[in-house]
């Protein structure tokens, strides 16, 4: 299968088979795909929680309008954006550059200070929106990787973020649950998988200037 075939195969899975589990090997590939995601400045201002514990998933299902994907999927990926200590995250990023690339020039640290100033200029609401958007970039890598591995996934915004933050203790960690994605394998009973994919035509969607 090529990329377009993979993308045509995938859909937002409504019913998962609770008996089928994603292998450890495939799970590591999904994690690596997320790790290699693009992000603004390369900061990766997010953390991804992978929920496997059934009791935790049951509690989160209640905070997700009782949607069965939460408990029936093999794993639940919770993408969380950082909400505090942006300067520290930038400093950590600069140190990663120095360690990874062996570049300890003043220009690298000046670049870090530039990022700090850019973030500081944002309003609280702008920072919140910006940091949450970063998680969607990482989510997209997960969805594409899942499609390539023939693993089903369902990106979801239908959940109570405050309840997730409380259940998972995210507030204390300076984190916020931004978007979630159960992953696993579709149930044969999920009629949604047989629906034709509905998308705009290329003519409707694109315009070349």
pLDDT tops 90 at residue 79: yes
In the chain, what are the domains?
A: 3-84+124-193 (3.40.109.10)
Mapped onto helix, strand or coil, the DSSP state of residue 171 is: helix
Q: HSE-up of 202 (CA within 13 Å, CB side)?
A: 1
Average pLDDT over residues 85-101: 96
147: phi then psi, degrees, rounded to nearest 5: -60, -40
Q: In the predicted model, what is the mean pLDDT of the chain?
A: 97
Is the pLDDT confidence value at 139 over 70? Answer: yes
Whole-number pLDDT of residue 105: 82
Give mean pLDDT, residues 104-133: 95
Roughly what angle, to the nearest 10 degrees, separates helices 86-101 and 106-120?
160
Q: What is the pTM of this model?
A: 0.96
Instruction: Identify the band that residue 103 occupies on the pLDDT scale cut at 50, 70 and 90.
Output: confident
Burial class (CB in 10 A: 0-12, 13-18, 19+), 6: middle
Q: Is the pLDDT of residue 1 over 80?
A: no
Q: What is the mean pLDDT of residues 28-52?
A: 98
When pLDDT is averaged across residues 192-201 and rounded to a whole number, the result is: 96
pLDDT at 106 over 90: no
Percent of the chain with pLDDT strictly greater than 90: 97
Six-digit token string for 171: 């507030």
Q: What is the pLDDT of residue 64?
A: 98
């Amino acid at each position: 299968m090529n990329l377009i075939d993979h993308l045509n195969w995938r859909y937002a899975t409504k019913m998962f088979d609770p008996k089928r589990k994603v292998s450890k090997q495939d799970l590591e590939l999904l994690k690596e795909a997320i790790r290699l995601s693009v992000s603004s400045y390369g900061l990766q201002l997010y953390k991804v929680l992978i929920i496997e514990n059934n009791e935790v998933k049951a509690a989160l299902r209640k905070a997700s309008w009782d949607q069965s994907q939460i408990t029936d999927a093999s794993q639940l990926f919770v993408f969380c954006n950082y909400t505090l200590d942006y300067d520290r995250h930038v400093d950590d990023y600069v140190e990663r550059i120095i360690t990874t690339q062996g570049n300890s020039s003043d220009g690298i640290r000046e670049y870090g200070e530039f990022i700090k100033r850019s973030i500081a200029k944002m309003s609280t609401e702008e920072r919140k929106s910006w940091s949450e958007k970063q998680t969607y970039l990482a989510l997209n890598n997960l969805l594409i990787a899942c499609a390539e591995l023939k693993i089903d996934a369902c990106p979801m915004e239908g959940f109570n973020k405050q309840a997730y933050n409380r259940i998972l203790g995210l507030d204390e960690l300076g984190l916020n649950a931004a978007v979630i994605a159960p992953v696993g394998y579709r149930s044969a009973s999920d009629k949604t998988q047989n629906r034709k994919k509905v998308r705009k035509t290329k003519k409707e969607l694109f315009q070349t200037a």
